[in-house]
Structure 1
Amino acid sequence: MPDGQQSPHDRLVVADTHNDLLMAVSARPPEIWSSFFRDRWLPQLVEGGVDVQVLPVFVDSWFRPEGALRQTLRMIECAHVLAEGNPDAVALCHDGQQIDEALALGRIALVLALESMPGIDESVELVPTLHRLGVRVASIAHWGRTALADGSGQDGTGSRLTSHGVQALREMERLGMLFDISHLGATGVAHVLEIAARPVIATHSSARALRDHHRNLTDEQLRGVAAGGGVVCVNFLAAFLTEDARSATVDHLVDHIEHVASVAGIDHVGLGPDFMREVTEDLTPPCCEGFAYSGIDAGAAIPGLEGPRGLPLVTDGLVKRGFSEEEIQKILGANVMRLFRAELGRPAPEGAGEGQPAR
């Protein structure tokens, strides 16, 4: 890059649809949530050029089932507290207009998400409650079985969404909450794509054609998300990019981005990093050599991409691969921004989705 010339990464909006930093921040005493975020995570987001950050609420297994809802609410409160404590730097946003306003003021736009809804169980009537608290994106399963659906680790069951899972999807569509298919079992994904009345998102899923792992999406699934107007945000986790996770490089990641773009279309691909190593080091130092989670090498990361400060490496990789600036703009954030502007916090039109059976 010639002296004085700004890189594409600095010029363009960058949207990260999956960073579990709330797990690390909420593990601290509430009185330091704001300061810990400012000292530990904010510099990384700024250095990485992050403009829009989706904050998933993930509840570890030891809180389930009794403490799941309490931990869900605690993490949601943590998001509100860190935003209120750093109003010069971040803003918790409920819709596309608020995101645009935050970016215009030079703030990072934060969007609350739920990963697998463990605190809900069959109580789908609580989905509007979570919407009132600011949640705008949600999935309904993780690795295993929930009251709403089976996660991808249970693909052998061939299960579709339960009746409560279908009700949750309908409530989310009614309210303007994006349905996240990442972690959902293969038959569940097919079910969602069959009955969804609004676009869906995969917040952190890579291409199964390049790495045959149940957490990745098949070409058929990629095409299905795109056909509905949704976006697939590629996961950076090394174990999902290549079988030999310890050898993963930026090129492996760009391979997955390129594949999703070629199958789903350049308008339907984004970034969903899932910086597991960085978050885990915050929670359980020292970490993470030999650290395994649900059968994957969770300690393996692409060198330089252990956390958000390395995001410019992705843009550099896309430039070297020959993507145009317009294409890079779409991948880094424009596709996600289009989806967020159209869907977040926007109630469904009267009668939308009616007449579709809860199969």
Structure 2
Amino acid sequence: MADLLDRARALLAEHPVADGHNDLPWALREQVAYDIDRRDIAVDQSARLHTDIPRLRAGGVGAQFWSVYVSTELAGDAAVSACLEQIDVVRQLVDRYPGDLRLATTADEVAAARAAGRIASLMGAEGGHSIANSLATLRALHRLGVRYMTLTHNDNTDWADSATDEPRHGGLTAFGEEVVREMNRVGMLVDLSHVAPATMRDALRVTEAPVVFSHSSARAVCDHPRNIPDDVLEMLPANGGVAMATFVPKFVLPAAVAWTAEADAYLNARGLDALDASDEAVRVRRAFEEANPRPQATAATVADHLDHMREVAGIDHIGIGGDFDGTPFTPADLADVAGYPHLVAELLNRRWSEEDLARLLWRNALRALRDAGEVARDVAARRGPSVATIEQLDGPGKFGSD
């Protein structure tokens, strides 16, 4: 395996990872209230975080979509403000570490950052509640550099059904379809992780641009609602989209699904949220895990998903979205952002070619970003900004606050 790891690292030097999802900004909010002096990511932060610059370098990361996530406990103006704070901390990190990070908003800027030896830093808004039902807010986020938006998080929005909430709309509402069209017009990728299968299918019907799944794996391999059904994977070639496999154990390993539910219930009983990144939550999780050893996912577990996704969607339509710092548990040999060589080594062992790995790791994500920009130029030439409101399209009383 040592020889395979050496080959993996050499390959990553030529074809680095363009990862679809990392929640470092939210971890910085939860742990240190954005006081980044207390979490200097220029040095090892492995005691507290999955992510720092030395480990990004060791893992062969060339581009990272930083999630500017907002909890669904926040709504309306509070959600918008929190999203702006997330954007601000990403920009602070880029300004603080200019020798390692460079802000990027286009495929050309990603390529230029890589050529300059920097890690291209993009942003994706996780959860459509971040726009507070306002297309003008959507456009403002795009102007600030956000290049994808996940239509929902764990709860429904007023215009789209989530994978992990009770269905309310049957997919996208009329306003939800207008959100997708406006995302196409400005050049913001439609991210279908977290959404219900009906929402996935509606978005694929409406969109003119490629979609992404920034951090979702194959439902046929692990039957979790956060994963992608095969019929949706089969739609990606016609759309040009990219499904980015995630590493979250409860999404990739069937045995981990029930264990994680028990761990989450243990936290909830002590007044802690399952996504809580505070020191207290870390302590409580460790205590639970010591008493209840967890099933271990590995790079091989993730590779099983990628094998299946390649078979169903094709090599041009898959990528990587680890979800580091957005999950308390990680696979044994993908513990943090330094772990990508282990996955590449596993895929090399399964006879994946260098060309296939180049597409998986780097090329597919950049192609989707580039294609979305081209679609945006075409759509913007045909129509101006939408002034539609949810009241106009969905009618009063047909939506409610989440």
TM-score band, normalised by the shorter chain? 0.7 to 0.9
Deviation (angstroms), 1:156:
4.5
Q: Secondary structure at the match of 1:16?
A: strand
Contact 1:33 1:78 in 2 (8 A): no
Matched residues, number: 336
- Looking at structure 1, the residues matched to 33 and 133 of structure 2 have their Cα atoms a distance apart, in angstroms, of 31
Structure 1 position 335 matched with structure 2 position 345: no
Residue type of the alignment partner of 1:211: C
- Looking at structure 2, the residues matched to 51 and 139 of structure 1 have their Cα atoms a distance apart, in angstroms, of 22
Deviations 1:85-107 (A, max 9, x none): 11111111111111111111000
Q: Secondary structure at the match of 2:122?
A: strand
Deviation (angstroms), 1:7:
2.7
Match for residue 228 of structure 1?
Answer: 239
- Looking at structure 1, the residues matched to 367 and 101 of structure 2 have their Cα atoms a distance apart, in angstroms, of 20
Structure 1 position 318 matched with structure 2 position 367: no
- Looking at structure 2, the residues matched to 202 and 134 of structure 1 have their Cα atoms a distance apart, in angstroms, of 19
Match for residue 220 of structure 2?
Answer: 209
- Structure 1 runs of 4+ with >4 Å offset: 2-6, 155-158
Match for residue 23 of structure 1?
Answer: 26
Q: Which of 174, 180, 190 is the matching residue for 1:169?
A: 180
Match for residue 151 of structure 1?
Answer: 162
Contact 1:201 1:225 in 2 (8 A): no
Structure 1 position 261 matched with structure 2 position 310: yes
Q: Which of 292, 296, 319 is the matching residue for 1:247?
A: 296
Residue type of the alignment partner of 1:251: A
Contact 1:232 1:268 in 2 (8 A): yes
Match for residue 130 of structure 1?
Answer: 141
Match for residue 351 of structure 1?
Answer: 382
Residue type of the alignment partner of 2:307: E
Structure 1 position 36 matched with structure 2 position 40: yes
Contact 2:299 2:343 in 1 (8 A): yes
Deviations 1:319-354 (A, max 9, x none): 01110111111111111122223324873312389x
Larger Rg: 2
Identify unmatched segments of 5+ residues in structure 1: 281-297
Deviation (angstroms), 1:203:
0.6
Residue type of the alignment partner of 2:248: L
Contact 1:181 1:202 in 2 (8 A): yes
TM-score, normalisation: structure 2: 0.78
Deviations 1:62-113 (A, max 9, x none): 4345521111110101111111111111111111111111111000001111
- Looking at structure 2, the residues matched to 338 and 174 of structure 1 have their Cα atoms a distance apart, in angstroms, of 17
Contact 1:131 1:177 in 2 (8 A): yes
Contact 2:160 2:169 in 1 (8 A): no
Contact 2:214 2:321 in 1 (8 A): yes
Match for residue 114 of structure 1?
Answer: 125
- Looking at structure 2, the residues matched to 233 and 316 of structure 1 have their Cα atoms a distance apart, in angstroms, of 18
CA gap 1:255/1:31 in 2 versus in 1, 3 angstroms: closer
Identify unmatched segments of 5+ residues in structure 2: 46-51, 257-294, 385-392, 395-402
* Further displaced range: 221-230 or 173-182: 221-230
- Looking at structure 2, the residues matched to 48 and 200 of structure 1 have their Cα atoms a distance apart, in angstroms, of 26
Contact 1:141 1:148 in 2 (8 A): no
Deviation (angstroms), 1:122:
1.3
Deviations 1:135-176 (A, max 9, x none): 111111112111221110136446121222112111110011
Contact 1:96 1:342 in 2 (8 A): no
- Looking at structure 1, the residues matched to 6 and 165 of structure 2 have their Cα atoms a distance apart, in angstroms, of 52
Residue type of the alignment partner of 1:254: A
CA gap 1:121/1:29 in 2 versus in 1, 3 angstroms: closer
- Looking at structure 1, the residues matched to 6 and 248 of structure 2 have their Cα atoms a distance apart, in angstroms, of 33
Deviation (angstroms), 1:255:
0.7
Deviations 1:248-282 (A, max 9, x none): 2221110100110110001111001112xxx26xx
Residue type of the alignment partner of 1:213: H
TM-score, normalisation: structure 1: 0.87
Residue type of the alignment partner of 2:42: R
Contact 1:111 1:135 in 2 (8 A): yes
Q: Which of 6, 11, 15 is the matching residue for 2:14?
A: 11
CA gap 1:208/1:155 in 2 versus in 1, 3 angstroms: farther
CA gap 1:189/1:4 in 2 versus in 1, 3 angstroms: closer
- Looking at structure 1, the residues matched to 53 and 36 of structure 2 have their Cα atoms a distance apart, in angstroms, of 14
Contact 2:222 2:253 in 1 (8 A): yes
Q: Secondary structure at the match of 1:151?
A: coil
CA gap 1:68/1:158 in 2 versus in 1, 3 angstroms: closer
- Looking at structure 2, the residues matched to 164 and 54 of structure 1 have their Cα atoms a distance apart, in angstroms, of 26
CA gap 1:263/1:2 in 2 versus in 1, 3 angstroms: closer
Match for residue 49 of structure 1?
Answer: 60
Name the structure, 1 or 2, with higher relative contact order (CA <8 Å, separation 6+): 2
